[in-house]
């Protein structure tokens, strides 16, 4: 059974944090799906994965294309990730269920610590996944460095 990591952003911008997490996931040999709730945010993440920093382009696609199943990184607003991900990264409070986590090597929930609604949604997800018996770890960058603050 997989586990879920919660990333509480208080200093990093969302697009930079997602890019870093996706890079690390690819480095582990994982295929990744990034699930959001809005096309607007996926547009922003798409640009971050195209441009990035000096490292440049990360191979990815947007759901709905002809080659979705071949994408190492697939950006989607849907529940179906046809690229067979090892890792699912959820933003904007996108839903993920315990049964889904169990099929993955890792799930990640990334949320903006300056948005009270996002914090509450993450707390609700933590509680729901914990009650379902999913192993979870909560990471915070509050001190300026990532530190694990809690785990189930």
The span from the CA of 98 to the CA of 6, in Å, is 14
For the stretch 98-119, pLDDT in tens is 999 999 999 999 999 999 999 9
First to last CA, the chain: 14
- Give the bridge partners for 61, in sequence order: 74
- In this structure, how many other beta carbons lie within 10 angstroms of the beta carbon of residue 132? 12
> Using 50, 70 and 90 to split pLDDT, how confident is the model at 50?
confident
- Percent of the chain's residues with pLDDT above 70: 97
What number is the average pLDDT over the span 50-71? 83
Q: What is the pLDDT of residue 76?
A: 96
Q: Which fold has domain 3-151?
A: Rossmann fold (3.40.50)
For residue 64, pLDDT over 80 is answered with: yes
Pair of tokens at residue 1: 């059974």
| pTM of this structure | 0.93
What residue ranges do the domains of the chain occupy?
3-151
């Amino acid at each position: 059974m997989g586990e879920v990591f919660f990333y509480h952003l208080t200093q990093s911008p969302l697009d930079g944090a997602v890019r870093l997490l996706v890079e690390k996931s690819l480095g582990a040999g994982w295929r990744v799906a990034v699930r959001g709730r809005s096309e607007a945010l996926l547009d922003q993440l798409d640009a971050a994965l195209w441009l990035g920093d000096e490292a440049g382009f990360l191979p990815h696609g947007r759901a709905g294309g002809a080659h979705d199943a071949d994408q190492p990184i697939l950006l989607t607003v849907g529940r179906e990730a046809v690229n067979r991900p090892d890792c699912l990264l959820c933003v904007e409070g996108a839903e993920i269920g315990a049964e889904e986590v169990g099929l993955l090597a890792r799930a990640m929930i990334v949320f903006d610590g300056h948005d009270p609604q996002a914090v509450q949604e993450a707390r609700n997800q933590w509680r729901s996944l914990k009650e379902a018996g999913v192993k979870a770890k909560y990471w915070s960058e509050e001190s300026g460095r990532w530190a694990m603050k809690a785990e189930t």
